[in-house]
């Protein structure tokens, strides 16, 4: 059994082991694979493991030996799942590995916006505190989260974990989701999208990227938000119309944004958000603590093991 990993570097830049896959077949690992070399590198391999390298219908036709595609992520839009299903190729994903890490990162972004800890630390090292006539100073407004309202759009596992942390900060939690649940009702009040947008001090996005959610944050929805609102996106970049968000930040229509994802990644130099005021952008790292990646690796290996035993799990097609 030949196994090829086409873009293993982000999952394992050297601090984890591919041993689990090595036990299941003859393994070849590439850190990255350019589009023009995808089919060649797959060759006659039966097992293909990818993260963001696209597997198109054309690639599947060119590589008839493929029996299984394992995606090293929750999102699987890099694979033409319809074409895979037509060719009876099993496609799996990793649905639950990053819940704690992503929810934690929501508050890494939010607390930076509330306290500007990095900027204040830089000010101390610059000598601003040493030269200050007072015992304390701050260069930015400081925000307390207690009794503020967090609105969570998309209330699945990560959204609900985010709600648990928000409640620990003393926040009130509103949720909007197409599918309400009893566990969700224990953590938040389900409301309409318009009510969430109107009432929330902080809005955190945790919905999947679907035709119904693409561009859910746009000029119209931003117009319903408080001028003091903070937007957090650790989900998918295309949920936000970036030009509309940049204009809202620059005009003061909303206060701040913390983004770990953008529409085109890596971020383009002409992305309007790079010129937006009070916009904090990180390079898609909410998922990436070592503990989270180790869980991802374990689940990916287990997915393949179950497939080889004719009992597949986490199948998306």
Q: Catalytic: which of 11, 116, 206, 236?
A: 236
Task: Name residue, tokens 């030996």.
Answer: 65
236 annotated active-site: yes
CA torsion 220→108→77→263, rounded to 10°?
Answer: 50
Q: Which two tokens stand for residue 39?
A: 């089919």
Q: Catalytic: which of 22, 58, 265, 291?
A: 265
CB 210, CB 236: distance < 8 Å:
no
Q: Which two tokens stand for residue 124?
A: 């101390």
57 annotated active-site: no
Q: Catalytic: which of 116, 206, 284, 293?
A: 284
206 annotated active-site: no
Task: Give the active site residues.
Answer: 236, 265, 284
């Amino acid at each position: 059994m030949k196994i090829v990993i086409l873009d293993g570097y982000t999952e394992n830049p050297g601090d984890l082991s591919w041993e689990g896959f090595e036990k299941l077949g003859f393994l070849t690992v590439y850190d990255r694979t350019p589009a023009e070399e995808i089919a060649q590198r797959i060759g006659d391999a039966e097992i293909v493991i990818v993260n963001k390298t696209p597997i198109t219908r054309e690639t599947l036709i060119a590589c008839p030996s493929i029996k299984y595609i394992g995606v090293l992520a929750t999102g699987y839009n890099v694979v033409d799942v319809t074409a895979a299903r037509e060719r009876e190729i099993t496609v799996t994903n990793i649905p639950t590995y990053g819940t704690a890490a992503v929810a934690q990162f929501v508050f890494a972004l939010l607390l930076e916006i509330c306290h500007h800890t990095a900027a204040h630390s830089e000010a101390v090292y610059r000598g601003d505190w040493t030269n200050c006539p007072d015992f304390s100073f701050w260069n930015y407004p400081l925000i307390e989260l207690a009794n503020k309202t967090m609105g969570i759009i998309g209330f699945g596992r990560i959204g609900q974990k985010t709600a648990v942390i928000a409640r620990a900060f003393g926040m009130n939690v509103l949720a909007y989701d197409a599918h309400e649940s009893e566990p969700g009702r224990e953590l938040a009040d389900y409301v309409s999208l318009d009510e969430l947008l109107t009432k929330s001090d902080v809005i955190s996005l945790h919905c999947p990227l679907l035709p119904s959610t693409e561009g859910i944050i746009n000029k119209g929805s931003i117009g319903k938000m408080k001028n003091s609102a903070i937007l957090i996106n650790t989900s998918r970049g295309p949920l936000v119309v970036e030009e509309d968000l940049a204009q809202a930040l620059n005009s003061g229509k909303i206060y701040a944004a913390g983004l770990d994802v953008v529409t085109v990644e890596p971020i383009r130099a002409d992305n309007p958000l790079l010129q937006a005021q009070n916009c904090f952008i990180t390079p898609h790292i909410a998922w990436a603590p070592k503990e989270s990646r180790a869980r991802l690796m374990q689940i990916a290996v287990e997915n393949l093991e179950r497939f080889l035993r004719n009992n597949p799990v986490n199948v998306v097609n």
